[in-house]
Amino acid sequence: MSLQGKIALVTGASRGIGQAIALELAGMGVTVIGTATSDSGAEAITAYLKEAGNAGRGMRLEVTEEGACDGIVETITKEFGGIDILVNNAGITRDNLLMRMKDEEWDALFATNLRPIYKLSKAVMRGMMKSRWGRIINITSVVGAIGNAGQTNYSAAKAAMFGFTKSLAKEVGSRGVTVNAVAPGFIDTDMTKGLPEEQKAKLVENIALGRLGLPQDIADAVGFLASDKAGYITGCTLHVNGGMFMN
């Protein structure tokens, strides 16, 4: 599944799922640009990409800053060429019961997790349409499909990505651009490390495969969707959750 010479932008690539995706694509011959919210995070990305022998690098991107999404696409296009693969992975959680949810928690979630997929997809679309080839892969979550107490904001934003994915897939399919989503289940990352052991054990009981997922499980799915082998798949959500939810 070689994608030699293609250029990918992976947001939120400093650790966890994003890092695994960046390295997976790098292994497929893709020049990868990974983003982090801090300069040190961007440097760390540059370091691991270099170690993997990749020509790409890390860049700082604070998605909520005005003009930042357009700016980074412009920078990458000038430095590396047009972006062929966009992986919208960056995301935050601001968990709270709805009864205690603060406006800032609700708003920050949508500003960070949802608005940038619109901004970045729009910014890369010109190049993808021109080259008649493109891949947009949105990392959503199983909780967007099944819900989770304490995550009304997170699950609402993740569910919104399903609709975005399908609509954009219909808009640009005729130009050779596919738009898909990957919905991870419970993956062993920093985001889920904070959960109490007891709660984790309970979660695993509901996973058919009896274990938490690994970042690589998600990266494999993204690598497949980015490849030419997935050229006839669009508007689809690939659930990678060990069987905790079956669509």
Which positions touch other proteins (CB under 8 A)? Answer: 126, 129-130, 171-172, 174-175
From CA 3, how far away is CA 181, in angstroms rounded?
A: 19
**For the chain, first and last CA: distance in Å?**
27
- Note if 154 is an active site residue: yes
Q: How far is the CB of 93 from other proteins (least distance, A)?
A: 34
Name the DSSP class of 168. H
User: What's the closest the beta carbon of residue 71 comes to other proteins, in angstroms?
Assistant: 16
Cα distance between residue 194 and residue 197, in whole Å: 9
In Å, what is the CA distance from 52 to each residue of 23, 32, 33, 88, 141?
A: 8, 11, 13, 22, 28
CB neighbour list of residue 164: distance below 8 Å, 6 or more residues apart: 117, 118, 138
**Cβ within 8 Å of residue 143, ≥6 positions away:** 151, 154, 155, 158
CB-nearer residue toward other proteins: 122 or 211: 122
φ, ψ for residue 80, nearest 5 deg: -120, -25
Least gap, CB of 124 to other proteins (angstroms): 13
Instruction: Establish whether 37 is an annotated binding residue.
Output: yes
164 vs 186, beta carbon nearer other proteins: 164
Q: Does residue 174 have a known ligand-binding role?
A: no
Nearer to other proteins, 15 or 175 (CB): 175
Q: How far is the CB of 7 from other proteins (least distance, A)?
A: 19
- Alpha carbon distance 85, 134 (integer Å): 6
Calpha distance 111→108 (Å, rounded) = 5
Q: Is 187 annotated in some ligand binding site?
A: yes
> Does 141 show up as a binding residue in the annotation?
no
**Residue 155 assigned ligand-binding role:** yes
Residue whose CB is less far from other proteins, 8 or 172: 172
Going by the annotation, the residues of the binding site are: 12-15, 37, 89, 154-158, 187
Binding-site residues for NADP(+), please?
A: 12-15, 37, 89, 154-158, 187
Instruction: Catalogue the active-site residues.
Output: 154
